[in-house]
Structure 1
Amino acid sequence: MYFDDDEPVFKRSRWGTSRYTYNPRNPVGFALIVVSLLLAGAMMLLMHLHAGPFASPEESTPTPVSTPDLSRYLLPHDDGLPSGTPSDTGHDGP
Structure 2
Amino acid sequence: MHHDHEPVFKRSKWGTNRYYYNPRNPIGLALIVLTVLVLGTTLILMANRAGPFEPPPAPAPWKPAPVTTGPPGH
2:42 aligned with 1:32: no
Matched pairs, number: 66
Matching residue of 1:17:
16
Deviation at 1:3, TM superposition (A): 5.9
SS of the counterpart of 1:43? Answer: helix
2-structure distance, mates of 1:37, 1:14: 23
Q: Which amino acid aligns with 2:20?
A: T
For the 8 Å contact 1:3–1:26, the answer to whether it is kept is no
When normalised by structure 2's length, the TM-score is: 0.79
Gaps of 5+ in 2: 66-74
* Cα pair distance change 1:60/1:10, threshold 3 Å: same
Indicate if the aligned counterparts of 1:3 and 1:25 stay in contact, CA closer than 8 A: no
Contact 1:5/1:27 (CA < 8 Å) preserved in 2?
yes
1:38 partner amino acid: L
State the TM-score, normalizing by the size of structure 1: 0.63
- Give the number of the structure with larger relative contact order, counting CA–CA contacts within 8 Å between residues 6 or more apart: 2
Identity %: 52
SS of residue matched to 2:45? helix
RMSD: 2.0
Query: What is the SS of the residue equivalent to 1:29?
Result: helix
What are the superposed Cα offsets for residues 5-34 of structure 1, whole Å, 9 maximum, x if unpaired? 000000001211011110000000000000
Q: Which runs of 4+ in 1 moved over 6 A?
A: none
Q: After the TM superposition, which residues 3-82 of structure 1 pair with which residues of structure 2 at under 5 Å, given as runs?
A: 4-66=3-65
Radius of gyration: which is bigger?
Answer: 1
